[in-house]
Structure 1
């Protein structure tokens, strides 16, 4: 032990004694060279319970020793007769502390500056490894890391033969959810990257009650001292450290005690340990629960020949789907996929995707969907962040990714292996969906089978969902609306009609598909529904549709009112639903009427059964009716955690005033007089574009990584006018930055819906007095374009194209401007083609996607007009 590693003991005596005699006896028990031992005997004029007494003891505890062989005894006698004794020595204090206990002494542990005390119950026998894992897991959560180093120091305590915790070693371990307590405590999950490693010191002083370890806390983020108590069924844990904020320390102590109590044995998995009392607890007996795949297998048993999935001209019966998913599960199990693992899905929407996802569930694993149009770097990041055991991808994507990649066709090929038959908990993750993150990178939200089934069970009766229903699967699997429309259909025994992207992007083709397949349950974002409504108004009415579920963004009153004119409520219900990925798709439901659509377009209704919302003010008290506040959500749908982001999990999923777990949505809302909710937008920098939640800070972070960028700001503007498109504008400070190169760099990581429409150079980003971006002081976005005179001939085609471009994108076109890089998206493309149609030019959406630049479009339209003129 060096000068900073002295063993200490602090004891309070409540009976009068001779201090000089006591010091002599303690010197004998400590047994160090008398010339190196110092002692202080002092009476003080204040009581032992005073603040001055605490301060005095703290100072004595932290007093340095002059050398490795030195010792120090402080004996303080208070005005009320109480005596405090503080010992410091680089020696064994067991005998001295035993003497003090025999004299009626009680340990002084609450005088250590900045420390908090918590008791740990001992069930049978004490195992240090349980404390190591509990402390490491909880500290990692509050320090926001996935790996941690534990320096275990034992003060004169023998190591049990069956105790896996290392002695005299620094344990470096990844806190991997799928590994057991014994694997983590033995260091069998080594750290892959030390760059963000944080350190805690755990001092086992159970053999020296009242002892403490004098240490330099600055070398460790958290210091924990474990001591015995007068109760043999309790151990005492003292927590201190320079990295802990005072408001977190008490919660940290409570969580450590709770996690420690949840460890049932060395085989307990980290994922099965709830971090706080406010999280759902896994069944202690490991009993299987009701799960999504079990519901679908049950449907395959009762109606094996019924159609489950339709895609183009192909279809799968429930028996086919069950068999294919069995094959997938057998392949996955053979490659090492086990319960709790994550598998990334980067395959096109279709029957294969559904079969593979179902096979993943049969292994007890969870799927992590990404859109096949995402940049490869974003797909790679998701796979790495989720610590995915496998990526199932389209061949072109698999070719660009590293190892641990396969294709759907390989998984669906015949296999001689047998599918696993696990008894699986319904608290295991069903999926993890990545959404834009405030920290500059996307965050993965983990949702359990129990939460998803609670959603379907809550709405099955409410919406009269039966096996006769035909559902449209319109949305990307990376958008949580897809969970509702795919698995809602299959869990209730219905039929899923998969909508390809080209069809989803063309309202006319989509309308035809809905009519041909007689879809009864239609799920749409309001933006997409507005275009479908326009087609429906001039086409054969969709008579089979009985339920329209709107979600993902604010309802558009005009399109809903128009739809209800043609589809009365007695034949078709329109339901507007408010929801969040972290609350399992939906929270509230509002049955829309013509009057409510026009009178209260922001009303999103009452909470669905099993869910609950509250509108709270800054003081966390309920906001008065009609007054705005932040929307909190509780109930069956709350997600489990964010992958690899324990601090974000702790700050967004919080304990409410009632002691339950609540999700802080970041949404602004108010409670109406009838108890329903009105959504008023976002509180923070999050925006919604076509149903996608986007954190502007993530876009800014990508811009800031570009070489030469000194500062940046990103804002979202809703363009005025009939189309009300959202546009993302980027502003940057930097010399010699080519906006085209910057745009290309962002496109390698950001999905299309997050890429800025404009890039404007600044000399400085304007700030408010609070240090935030002053949006009002930002200049108008740079949308200037120089039209190529060779292509911009003054004929009707050029005029029509230019006018449509200006109307939809609010910009002047140049010959080499790309529609989608200039701010266009799938909805803007529909607007553009409609504008051309109004000008007498028929342009299919597929032509626009194939010829996105203004010059190419001009050539195509000119050729069409020349051909028409020649006829």
Structure 2
């Protein structure tokens, strides 16, 4: 067994010596053996050492080609920290990233080219540029990675090389990676998740499979890619795992969920064909902090634990009763953010902004601190409600947000749940009313076929709200009162025999209902009429009588 402290490049060198004829890197065009891969890496590292100074950042064009992987490992071997730059990003974005880090040279490769060329970066910075504090940490660094910017401007994170070693070691052991295994390189190279995929593979003698992004589209395309290339190990997103069905010819042995909350339906689906793991980490804490052992669907019927520690990190929950913000401590914490005014160090700990809860089977994700909402005078964690929604068999995924009852731009006065799955909104409401405190039960339950996503893979909540607003008032048999109630509660099988408050109506939505009834001509209608109506039939029958 390899020492847990053996550096990454030494691990790869050992594999090259012990398994020279094994497949190291496969693309649709060509497969490189470890002997060939090692030769390309060595040549690139020597060129990098000749043309750059120790600790100088090198840019790597983030193309899905063998040369990008060669450049990454070559940079690690040469002791030159790297940053992936996506040619699809704007010139201004790449110029800012390269300029901040002092990038002069860009590693790029042409189609079919295995060994990358070092060319002057189009965004090369002026000689001698170095933000305050960067020179002091250059020798420690492996790479810089930029956050997605989903909560503001993207930030540049500096990650130490030494912190990668135990993280990769733990992945190799827990995922049983070795010769004969094949990992699909799924994450974009500008996302830090790619680093563990690449390194757990190449440090263990397995084969890294790199394909065009068009072959990674969640659904039948991704399912076909997994089978066609004989993939045994894959780490991908909740969206991809919910949209993709494992095929009958799968060779999968280990599947990992990463980048978002894992749902019980995903565990049930994928654990039927492979050992299924949940993973958790942040860009600021060396990729991954928690990785579960293979999960048992029976033990994850309602919620999914985050897993056990990986790498050299400590964990602390700041809050009462085992519930609060997760704080990561120890060597896994990255150096800090790099800004124009210099390095902003994290120190010995990083506050993740994630609310978690300690239970008998480990930590469970609850919600982002900045996503907590206040509705009806109560503070609610949407993630807690989402977990309860997904605990009902038949629900695939859920998103809970605070919105206006009618989906408009008024102040948020309702908890709205969008969900995917075969259950009815009425059955879901009954489940939630027996599971959650009354103030946590969403007022509106809206079933959708698919969740829209932003370019960086996050659920597009604005698009969900726009779709609900556009579809308000449809699907209840033409009765105007039923149409209104359907739009306000999401119950698609609402009938005239239902009571407004039994199907999700509340004081806030009653006011909206009254406003809509006035627009239909019942000018003197009031909330008291809604309160006194035993069923919606009472309102429906009075509407034509009282209209002017």
Q: TM-score range by the shorter chain?
A: 0.5 to 0.7
Distance 1:481 1:609, change over 3 A: closer
Q: Residues 453 and 459 of structure 2 are in contact (CA less than 8 Å); yes or no, is this contact kept in structure 1?
A: no
The residue number in structure 1 matching 2:312 is 610
Q: Deviations over 1:487-526 (max 9, x none)?
A: 1100111110113100011533332332233221121112
Whether 1:678 aligns to 2:364 is: yes
Q: Which runs of 5+ in 1 are unaligned?
A: 1-288, 406-424, 618-622, 655-660, 689-716, 729-750, 760-779, 786-871
Distance 1:326 1:554, change over 3 A: same
Instruction: Please name the residue that 1:662 is paired with.
Output: 349
Q: Following superposition of structure 1 onto structure 2, how do residues 371-520 of structure 1 map, counting pairs within 5 Å?
A: 371-393=86-108, 401-403=122-124, 428-437=140-149, 440-505=152-217, 507-520=219-232
Asked whether 1:540 is paired with 2:248, we answer yes
Residue 595 (structure 1) aligns with: 298
Query: What pairs with 1:649-798 in structure 2 (closer than 5 Å)?
Result: 649-650=344-345, 653-654=346-347, 661-674=348-361, 676-684=362-370, 719=418, 720-723=446-449, 725=451
Aligned equivalents of 2:353 and 2:24: distance in 1?
A: 38
What is the aligned partner in structure 2 of residue 108 from structure 1? none
Q: CA RMSD in A?
A: 3.7
Task: Please tell me whether residue 554 in structure 1 is matched to residue 261 in structure 2.
Answer: yes
Instruction: Determine which of 308, 326, 346 is the counterpart of 1:631.
Output: 326
* C-alpha contact 1:454 1:637 (8 A) present in aligned 2: no
Aligned length: 383
- CA shift at 1:550, angstroms? 1.1
TM-score, scaled relative to structure 1: 0.40
The answer on whether the counterparts of 2:55 and 2:138 sit within 8 Å (CA) in structure 1 is no
Question: CA distance change for structure 1 residues 439 and 322 in 2, over 3 Å: closer, same or farther?
Answer: same
1:321-371 per-residue CA deviation (whole Å, 9 max, x = no partner) reads 121122222332332x12222122223112110111122222211111133
Asked whether 1:308 is paired with 2:24, we answer yes
Tell me by how many angstroms 1:480 deviates: 1.2
Instruction: Provide the C-alpha distance between the structure 1 equivalents of 2:254 and 2:341, rounded to a whole number of angstroms.
Output: 39
When the two structures are superposed, what TM-score results if normalisation uses the length of structure 2?
0.62
Aligned mates of 2:288, 2:252 — CA distance in 1: 21
Partner of 1:324: 40
CA–CA separation in structure 1 for the residues paired with 2:237 and 2:356: 20
SS of the residue aligned with 1:388? coil
Deviations along 1:586-644, one digit per CA (max 9) or x if unpaired, are 1112232212332223x212323633211113xxxxx323xx21100123422122223
CA contact (8 A) 2:98 2:124 kept: no
**1:291-345 deviation line (CA, Å, top 9, x unaligned):** 322221221122212110000031111121121122222332332x122221222
Q: CA deviation at 1:439?
A: 9.1
* Residue 335 (structure 2) aligned to one of 640, 660, 664: 640
* Match status 1:585 vs 2:302: no
Give the distance between the partners of 1:584 and 1:511, measured in 2 at CA: 29
Cα distance in 2 for partners of 1:470, 1:487 equals: 13
Secondary structure of the residue aligned to 1:476 is coil
SS of structure 1 residue aligned to 2:63: coil
Q: Based on CA coordinates, which of the two structures has the bigger radius of gyration?
A: 1
Supply the distance in 2 between the matched residues of 1:718 and 1:375 (Cα, whole angstroms): 35
Q: Deviations over 1:194-253 (max 9, x none)?
A: xxxxxxxxxxxxxxxxxxxxxxxxxxxxxxxxxxxxxxxxxxxxxxxxxxxxxxxxxxxx
**CA offset at residue 663 of structure 1?**
1.4
**1:404–1:576 Cα change, 3 Å:** same
Q: Give 1:441 deviation, angstroms.
A: 3.0
Measure, in 2, the Cα distance between the counterparts of 1:614 and 1:724: 36
Structure 2 SS opposite 1:678: strand
Alignment of 1:101-180 (within 5 A): none
Q: 1:39-438 alignment to 2 at 5 Å?
A: 290-335=6-51, 337-393=52-108, 401-403=122-124, 428-437=140-149
* Aligned equivalents of 1:584, 1:472: Cα separation in 2: 21
Q: Distance in 2 between matches of 1:440 and 1:669?
A: 22
Name the SS of the counterpart of 1:496 in structure 2: strand
Seen in structure 2, the aligned counterparts of structure 1 residues 377 and 302 have a Cα distance that, compared at 3 Å, is same
Could you tell me whether the CA contact under 8 Å between 2:58 and 2:81 is conserved in 1?
Answer: yes
